[in-house]
Amino acid sequence: MIKAILIFNNHGKPRLSKFYEHYSEDTEQQIIRETFHLVSKRDENVCNFLEGGMLIGGSENKLIYRHYATLYFVFCVDSSESELGILDLIQVFVETLDKCFENVCELDLIFHVDKVHNILAEMVMGGMVLETNMNEIITQVDAQNKMEKSETFIFQSPRQDR
Amino acid sequence: MNLISKSAYINMGYFQPFPFLCLSERDDNMEKSKQRPEPMQALTLYKHSRCLYFQEEEKLIKKELASLKEQVASPNTTMRQMKEIMVRAIYCEMLGYQASFSYIHAIKLAQQGSVLEKRVGYLAVSLFLKETDEFLLLLVNTVLKDLQSTNLIEVCMALTVVSQMFPKDMIPAILPVVEEKLTHPKEIIRRKAVLALYKFYLIAPNQVQHIHSKFRKALCDKDPGVMTASLHIYLQLIKESPESYKDLTGSMVTILRQVVGGKLPLDFNYHSVPAPWLQIQLLRILAYLGKEDQGTSEVMYDVLEESLRRAEMNHNITYAILYECVKTIYTVHPKSQLLEKAAECIGNFVLSPKINLKYLGLKALTYVVQQDANLALPHQITIIECLDHSDVIIKRETLELLFRITNAQNVTVIVEKMLEFLRLTSDDYSTIDLVGKVAELTMNSVFSLGGDVMQPDIPNNFLRLLAEGVDSVEDRQLRLFAVDSYVSLLQGETAKLPQRFLQVISWVLGEYSYLREEDSDPGSVMRLLARLLDQRHTSTETRSWVLGAMTKLCSSPVSVALARDVCERYLSWAKSVWANIPLCVTFEILVDSSLSFLDGYVSEALAAGAAPYKSPHQRQEELVQEKALSLEPYGLSLPVSLSSCSITDRLTDRQSPTLLSMSSGLSGNSTELSHKEGSTALKLDGVKRVWGKDGYLAQQQSAGETPIPQVELPSPLLSPQSPPSQTQKPSSGPEPDQEKRQLASSLFVGLGSHNSVCLVRLPSTVCSVSIADQSNVFKALFKPFYINSCRSALHNLLDTTTVASEGGAATTTLQQTSQRTLDHTTSNGSPHVEGTEQRVEAGGPLSLIRGNDLHPAPALERPRDLPLTSHLPAELSGLARSELTTLCSDHDPSLALSACRVYKEDALVLLVFISNNTDSTLHQMALQLTCKELEVYFSDWPLTVSTGDYGKMWLSFSHDLKQNLRLVTTEHQEPLTATLDALKGKLHLHIVDVIGSEGIVACRLLQGQGQGQPCLLHCRVHADSLAVWLRSPVPELPDSLLYHCQKALTET
């Protein structure tokens, strides 16, 4: 299960945080800080896995992260997730963001927090990986965007039958 | 969005308005950056001062929040504006600023807004609120309504929010509706419903008990997406109780086969790999299903092989599948062919230049070495390299791997490596984790195994580890753990614990027993320690540690009483051994040199009428003088050998004034005692002055030098790669490669030797090869004289010792050529046994071979057995042995080679005699021993039991076998006795008893698996055959023993 998904920039400023487990607000902030502390001091040419944020569950959990230009994407997962699988899921996530925002940058995450959350919700639901296919995710998100344009339109089917 | 708040919004942190996605296929896009002038301007304002920036951020956010609060409260705010407010509130919350005023409005938005507003409302709710929030109750109805909506988006939103957080007690309210969604025509709804139900299962498993059949339906859903979602549930369910879902194995295998075979629609492909995440999930499920279940495992072998084959190394994600596949293969019931492939795969991972794969490779190795430690052997050098890797995570994983392969022989090196790592790391988590492991390693099995041969610095390091930590919770836990485990150890049998371990235990108990708060009886530890003192096998040094611990514990009345008792007995002795306290322990031990802590007791005791302390020699003197006075209790309690130093019978010096003054100096920091000395004449003369005002005096130097006897590690650490001389005396400038190899050899020692490397022990006392511990027997070939003849003959010999050789297993050949000169001086024809000691570099423990005798034998026709057997080494002569077999004297008349087996208690010794049959003197002879590994699966050994024990054992054994055997008939013996004697002679069975026509016989398995397991035979003469009934706790034993009995009897 995925415990938390965090995005922060090179300075440790959170850009997105989503917790799938219950933590107090203070703990959440502490987790973000600690995770940033752990991740930021790692070189570029080391592995993408980290074990042991004390706060987020110790040895049972691991951090899997990717660093893109200014942002760190960190997934905190338990032992039931495949490390490389999650690593590619991050890639899928970022590619999806890129498709939805056209050359996504940090600003998009700042200005469209809700949209990013919605995209994420199509990928991961309640800590479980729901969809890994980028096109499917985009179909869902597009359908919602359409809805935005014509709010009164009663929406029927966002997804074509297979 | 007004301008002020917007600038506040974007200034919450540095950012770069450049695309951050760096995909290889998008490199050209990287050039284009978006133009966002507004934020850039705002950014420059605060760019240069982080400090200012943080202050500003706080100011801006506070301002923003105030404005939001105002807007929220205003009755004129529309839902649309409210949505905008919520998005900002979300942002502020993410940055760690409370926006609790907006919570209720978020719920309102979710309740009342249009679809889009509702979505933001739900999002805000799921981010702001927790499962326990009471606000959530307000949402239940809304969720229920949305679940039943005809708008798919609304249903999806409701399902998402339900799976994110939902109050546990409210689940029954919406459960039927969610269940209903499992049959929804749209697959996305079904999928989300499945996950929502899974979430319910996790929160409240008993509430979804009844819908397990619906999960099965989901598994069989025509849409692969729904099926994938249902696998989450099954992974969990199967993990919890694999037994109840064995019937799903077939389905899972079929699904995996279809996925691997590319039967899914193309849009499930990811980088042209069919549904990789699905594959991973399935492989995990199969691992749980096939674990320790041969039948189930057999179903999945094919598909595992298939996915291993299909996953070609072309993309990251295929490695993910491979890794999972390898793990599954090693989890399910083993199949050698698959294991080989998987091992190869692991090799590829470990050797990969990609660091992620290396990490996973190490992880996989860590996982598999638990089953077969030898798998680490091919990667020794890589592992050594990883130990020095720049990536801490890799390093840690390597240590984890080493932790798994730790045995008594390499524990020293591994613990050293761990400590080395500990010194470098500053990361709390890994420190605690590793400390725990080091503690476990040192404390538990290995400590007690290798305890006394360990270098003294290991326990010291360990103690330092315990002592050094700051007083954090974790440290306390570790210490408490140590104390508890030691106390329970001491409560058990302590006689077998190594002395050094006992010392560590005493120190830890003395230092940290106070942590055992829950223990209401403080005297218990004290009693345990006292018991330790009283035991005979406790060494002097250990006693001093124990006493040290006890002094630390004298705080409670119970302990005081105990201590008093102890100190009376050990007073004199204690004084002497304080000098021995190991000074190499670097942390502080406060030594009260004058034993002033005892003064109280001494004075009390004296007041109560006890005799003043007298030194041993004084007592002796008194004894001599009075002849009648017996001071038995004191005399007895004095340890006989008072280690190295103090109380020596220095009768001559006794009267010297210097010593007298010294004795008063002894109590320098204890005025009470010195006063008492005057009044009650406590005689301390004769006690050498070792402690003065400032502590330990005279022998400090020497005590510092040899605080703990340096225990040289014996040869087991050496392995073939490193000749002994190198390890003992490292050459001044060893090449790095050499170092690595050396390290490798010390790290991996004890891994291979148990299984693949031939373990031939050559006892130094006889020229013989003792086939000990392991299931290895050897063939010895003697060159250059008798290669061929010898081989067959010797082979026969071994065969008769019920050894089955397996040609295929002979992988490691131990070859050793030892050239030696054998002097022989034979003037009177009596053989002269003399040999030069020769080292054999063997894959196993280093051992010595001592030269055999070469002596001229006058003639071939001479009775062969007699003279040779007379040369049996004395320690073997009394033991049962086989007949001396001539191996190959016919081929070459000049030398004769004979051999026999001697059955020692714990080993089978093969004695080989080489005798010179000519009259000429042999000055030199080349002897080459080639030992091949053979597998012994069976070998019997007499088991000496009484008839009564036999009866008990007989009833307790479950595996039996009955068979009729041929009777041996001889002229002068009863058929039964003759047969049993024949068996005894051939197989060395122990005849327990013979009563009438019945006989009972016992034996045990000497080697191989199930070593030491007994087998009992009940024989009865029935008509003209022997009815044998065999019983054993091992299923195969009766069968194979019977075979050997048959063979033995047909030969006679």
ipTM of the complex: 0.89
Mean pLDDT over B443-459 rounds to 51
Give the pLDDT confidence of B509-557 residue by residue, as tens digits.
777 777 666 555 666 777 777 777 777 667 777 777 777 777 776 665 6
- CB-neighbour burial class of residue B156 (10 A; exposed 0-12, middle 13-18, buried 19+): buried
Q: Write down the pTM of the prediction.
A: 0.55
Window from B146-160, B202-216, B860-874 with minimum mean pLDDT: B860-874
Distance in angstroms (rounded) separating the CA atoms of residues A51 and B430: 9
Domain hosting A35: range is 1-154
Maximum mean pLDDT: which of B111-120, B387-396, B730-739: B111-120
Residue B273: which H helix or E strand, with range?
A: strand B273-274
Structure tokens at B797: 């010999």
Distance CA B1033, CA B953 (A): 9
Task: Name the closest residue on chain B to residue A85, using Cα atoms.
Answer: B320
Asked if residue A160 belongs to a domain, the reply is no
Tokens of B159: 């399902």
Residue range A51-79: average pLDDT? Answer: 81
Of A45, A68, A97, the CB nearest to B22: A68
Can you read off the two tokens belonging to residue B987?
């197989």
Instruction: Give the residue on B whose Cα is nearest the Cα of A99.
Output: B21
> How near does any CA of chain B get to the CA of A75, in Å?
16
Among B536, B537, B540, B566, which residue's Cα sits nearest to residue B553? B566
Contact: B90, A83; criterion CB under 8 Å: no
What are the Cα distances from residue B106, in Å, to A52, A70, A136, B87, B362?
Answer: 35, 31, 29, 10, 48
Instruction: Kindly indicate the confidence band of residue A73, based on its pLDDT and cuts at 50, 70 and 90.
Output: very high
**Per-residue exposure over B687-721, b if at least 16 CB sit within 10 Å of its own CB, e if not:** bbbbbbeeebbbbeeebeeebbeeeebeebbbbbe
CA proximity to B926, closest of B780, B782, B814, B769: B782
pLDDT tens track for B946-1005: 777 888 788 777 777 788 888 877 777 778 888 888 888 777 778 888 888 888 888 877
Put simply, the answer to whether B21 touches A68 (Cβ < 8 Å) is yes
Residue B496's pLDDT is 65
Q: What's B905's DSSP letter?
A: S
- B149/A contact by beta carbon, under 8 A: no
CB contact under 8 Å between B393 and A46, yes or no, is yes
Q: Which residue would you say has higher pLDDT here, B201 or B649? A: B201
**pLDDT above 50 (res A160):** no
Of the candidates B1013, B1049, B1031, the residue with the CA atom closest to the CA atom of residue B961? B1031
Neighbour-count burial for A109-127, b at 16+ CB within 10 Å, e otherwise: bbbbbbbbbbbbbbbbbbb
Query: What's the one-letter identity of residue B418?
Result: M
Nearest-CA distance B481 → chain A (Å): 19
Residue B706's pLDDT band (boundaries 50, 70, 90)?
A: very low
Give the rounded percent of residues in chain B with a pLDDT score beyond 70. Answer: 51
Residue B468 has pLDDT above 70, yes or no: no
Contacts of A56 in chain B (CB under 8 A): none
> How many angstroms away from the CA of A76 is the closest CA of chain B?
16
Distance between CA B938 and CA B234 in Å, rounded? Answer: 45
Examine the pLDDT at B770 and tell me if it is beyond 50. Answer: no
The CA R_g of chain B, rounded to the nearest whole Å, is 40
Q: Which of residues 337-376 of B touch A (CB under 8 A)?
A: 355-356, 358-360
Which of chain A's residues have a Cβ under 8 Å away from the Cβ of B89?
Answer: none
- The reply to whether residue A105 touches residue B115, judged by beta carbons under 8 angstroms, is no
B269-270 and A62-68 as β-strands: parallel, antiparallel, unpaired? Answer: unpaired
Shortest alpha-carbon distance between residue B1013 and chain A (Å): 41
Cβ of A144 within 8 Å of Cβ of B119? The answer is yes
Q: Which residues of A touch B235 (CB under 8 A)?
A: 80
Question: B456 at the A interface (CB within 8 A)?
Answer: no
In the structure encoding, which two tokens stand for residue B60, read together?
């801006």
pLDDT on residue B844? 33
Average pLDDT over residues B120-146: 86
CA–CA distance, B218 with B183 (Å, rounded to integer) = 9
DSSP letter string over B943-995? ----HHHHHHHHHH--EEEEEEEEPP--SSS-HHHHHHHHHHHHH--EEEEEE
**pLDDT range class, residue B474, cuts 50, 70, 90:** low
Give dist(CA B1010, CA B937) in Å, integer.
10
Q: Which of residues 206-265 of B touch A (CB under 8 A)?
A: 223, 225, 229, 232, 235, 239, 265
Residues B782-788: what's their mean pLDDT?
31
Does the residue A77 lie in any domain? yes
Look at B309 and B801; give whichever has higher pLDDT: B309
Q: Identify the band that residue B928 occupies on the pLDDT scale cut at 50, 70 and 90.
A: low
Q: Distance between CA atoms of B397 and A62, rounded to whole angstroms?
A: 13
- A87 within 8 A of B316, measured Cβ to Cβ: yes
Average pLDDT in chain B: 66
| Band (B442; pLDDT cuts 50, 70, 90) | low
pLDDT in tens, B271-289: 888 888 999 999 999 999 9
Nearest residue in A to B197, CA atom: A126
Q: Is the pLDDT of residue B122 over 80?
A: yes
Q: What is the pLDDT of residue B334?
A: 86
- The band of B37, judged by pLDDT with boundaries at 50, 70 and 90, is very low
What pLDDT is stored for residue B748 in this prediction? 66
Among B391-395, B437-441, B541-545, B830-834, the range with the most confident prediction by mean pLDDT is B391-395
**For residue B852, pLDDT beyond 90:** no
Q: Averaged over B94-119, what is the pLDDT?
A: 86
pLDDT band with cut points at 50, 70 and 90 for residue B270: confident
* pLDDT at residue number A65: 92
The confidence score (pLDDT) of residue B475 equals 63
Of B76-90, B750-764, B853-867, the range with the highest mean pLDDT is B76-90
Residue A87 has pLDDT above 60, yes or no: yes
Closest CA to B752 of B845, B685, B663, B619: B845
Q: Which residues of A touch B394 (CB under 8 A)?
A: 46-47
pLDDT reading at B153 higher than 80 = yes
Counted domains in chain A: 1
Q: Does residue A102 surpass a pLDDT of 80?
A: yes
At A119-150, the pLDDT tens digits run 999 999 988 998 888 888 888 888 877 776 66
Mean pLDDT across B362-374: 83
Using the predicted structure, report yes or no on whether residue B925 has a pLDDT greater than 90. Answer: no
**CB-CB neighbors (< 8 A) of A133 in chain B:** 267-268, 270
State which residue of chain B sits closest to A157, comparing Cα positions.
B152
Q: What pLDDT is recorded for position B383? A: 83
Interval B718-735 mean pLDDT: 38
Q: Check CB contact of B323 with chain A, cutoff 8 Å.
A: yes
| Span B915-935, average pLDDT | 61
Can you tell me the mean pLDDT for B122-127? Answer: 89
In whole angstroms, what is the distance from residue B341 CA to residue B318 CA? 16
Domain ranges of chain B: 455-566, 879-914, 940-1051
Specify the DSSP class assigned to residue B706: S
Q: Which residues pair with B995 in a beta bridge?
A: B998
> Cα separation of B800 and B518, whole Å?
63
Question: B residues 859-878 near A, CB within 8 Å?
Answer: none
Which has more pLDDT, B604 or B710?
B604
Among A65, A128, A134, A144, the residue to mutate for chain B (most B Cβ within 10 A)? A128
In this predicted model, what pLDDT tens digit does every residue of B943-957 receive, in sequence order?
A: 677 777 888 788 777
The yes-or-no verdict on residue B27 having pLDDT over 60 is: no
Q: Which CATH architecture has domain B879-914?
A: Single Sheet (2.20)
> Is CATH 3.30.310.10 what the domain over B940-1051 is classified as, yes or no?
yes
pLDDT at B596: 57
Q: Find out whether the peptide bond into B784 is cis, omega within 30 degrees of 0.
A: yes
For residue B823, is pLDDT > 70? no
Task: Tell me, yes or no, whether A5 lies in a domain.
Answer: yes
Residues 6+ apart with CB under 8 A from B90: A113, A114, A117, B123, B124, B127, B128
Residue with tokens 């229920």: B144
Strand partners, A74: A6, A65
pLDDT surpassing 80 at residue B812: no
Checking if the pLDDT of B25 tops 80, the result is no
- Pair B389, B395: CB distance under 8 Å: yes
Inter-chain CB proximity B22 and A69 less than 8 Å: yes
DSSP string of B615-679, one letter each residue:
-HHHHHHHHHHHSS---HHHHHHS-SS--SSS----TTTTT-HHHHHHHHHHTTT-HHHHHHHHH
Cα B824 to Cα B23, B923, B1027, distances in angstroms:
82, 7, 55
Is residue B589 over pLDDT 60? no
Average pLDDT for residues B844-871, to the nearest whole number? Answer: 42
Indicate which CATH number applies to the domain containing A85: 3.30.450.60
Provide the pLDDT for residue B580: 47
- Band (A90; pLDDT cuts 50, 70, 90): very high
Residue with tokens 């005002």: B693
Residue type, B788: N
Q: Grade residue B458 by pLDDT with cuts at 50, 70 and 90.
A: low
Residue B545 confidence (pLDDT) = 76
What confidence tier does A54 reach under pLDDT thresholds 50, 70, 90? Answer: low
Least confident stretch, B67-71, B160-164, B812-816: B812-816
Cα separation, B59 vs B468, in Å, equals: 44
